[in-house]
Every structure is written in structure tokens, then in C-alpha cells.
Amino acid sequence: MNEKTCVIYKGTCFQAEWYYDKNGYNQAYDYYCGLDAVRQGRFLILVERLADFGKIYDTTKFRNESDGIYAFKPQPDRYLCFFFFGRKIIVTNAFIKKTQKILRKEKRVSLKCKRIMKTDAMEEKEMTTYEQFFIDYPESKEVFEREKNEFALSEFVLEQMDKNKLSVRGLADKANVSPTIIQKVRKGKLANHINFTTFINVVDSLGYKVMLVKKANP
């Protein structure tokens, strides 16, 4: 197995690959090859879904096993994997889960594979801490993006207040909202505290307007 033959499926959101060692061996692929067509198909259905849509909502089919390790669960099989740089899903090892002890043992194998790939990648390419964060914690992206956007808005409001010499009460009066709302916006506490109309009023009072722009790749 090599860089070309390790590909399981190329999806819209991710590319799924078999992990392989320096000798080109992958335990999960050997396991897969030993199964009948029905069980192979169950695994490929899950891989295709995750790779094309970016998420599987049914935790009985795909689940976070902690420490950045995930499991495809096409009954009765388990395939451990992790998300990696370049929007890849790397499948490391496979087994039938009979006890939690087996899962812990197999998870250690998957973590070792992840460490090896991470080390190799850092030797080949200088990877930033920022890039590594999303490799280690892909499930955190939604929360990260929301908090980043809230912080960006609070910074924008603070900057405009400073430029225009506006106090909290002054901006509140201009936007026709309570000073408490402005305080929450300044601190980035938008969730459950500010509705769309209030947001528009604050932005408008600072001399800006909101525009909706379609993303190139939604």
C-alpha cells in the first residue's frame, strides 16, 4: 500500500484513507478484505456519508471515542480513525468490540498511528499550532467559529466606540437599545442576548450596514 492505493473514498468534504506503516501494511485493510460483501458494504456506506456530508448524526454508526479518535460502527465491526491535515480521515485499525478493554487497547494503537503521522507531517511540512488544533479537535470547529465571530464583532464595536468617542450609554441611545445590551456586545456575549433586529440597530448606529454575500463553497 502507498499514497495512491491507500485511498478509500474521495468525498466532497473529506478524503478517507487507510493508514499504512513504512512497510505498506494496514491492519484495518486486511480486516476489511477478510469480510463478506455485506459487511464491507456497511463500512463503505458510512465512509461515503461522512466524506460527502462532513458529519454522521447517528452515534450508533459513528462516534467520538475521545482523544481525537473516532469509530465507524458498521455492526458488528469497529474501524478506528482520526481526522488529519488536508481534510483527510485516516482509518487505522479494525476489530469486533466485545469489551471496553478491547476498545481501550485498540484505541492505543490508533493513537500511536496518529502520533507517527503527525511527526512525519511536521518533518515534511511546517505545521502551525492553529492547523494542528483543527486536526486534533475537528468537533470543536463550530464552537470555535461562533466564538471567533462574536469576538470579532465585539472588537469592531469597541474600535468604533473609540474612534467616535462614544460611551456605552451614548451608543445605546443611538441604537435605541439598553446599555446592558451594549455591554454584552462589547464583551462578546451575543448568544441568547441579542436578536437580529438589535444587531442591525447597533451596526447601523455606527454608520455601517449588514450585507449577505453567498459563500463560494457553502
Last residue in a domain, options 88, 117, 136: 136
Give the N- to C-terminal CA distance of the chain in Å, as an integer. Answer: 34
Q: Order the strands of the 88-96 sheet from edge to edge.
A: 7-10, 15-18, 88-96, 77-84, 70-72, 62-64
Q: What is the domain extent for residue 169?
A: 139-205
Number of helices (H), then strands (E), belonging to the chain: the values are 8, 6
Q: What grid cell was written down for 60?
A: 450508533
- One domain for residues 124 and 48: yes
| Spatial contact of 75 and 94, defined as CB atoms under 8 Å apart | no
- Name the residue among 85, 3, 15, 91 with its Cα closest to residue 50: 15
Residue 215 has pLDDT above 80, yes or no: no
The string of pLDDT tens digits covering residues 8-56 is: 999 999 999 999 998 999 999 999 999 999 999 999 999 999 999 999 9
Count of domains for the chain: 2
pTM of the model: 0.61
Q: Is residue 1 part of a domain?
A: no
Backbone φ, ψ for residue 191 (5° rounding): -60, 125
User: Of the residues 136, 151, 181, which one is the last residue of a structural domain?
Assistant: 136
| pLDDT 10s digits, 111-151 | 999 989 887 765 555 566 777 677 677 778 788 888 887 77
Do 160 and 173 fall within a single domain? yes
Measured CA to CA, the distance from residue 87 to residue 67 in angstroms comes to 18
Same domain, 58 and 111: yes
124-136 exposure pattern, b = at least 16 Cβ within 10 A, e = fewer: eeeeeeeeeeebe
15 and 67 both lie in a single domain: yes
**Least confident piece of the model among 99-103, 171-175, 185-189:** 185-189
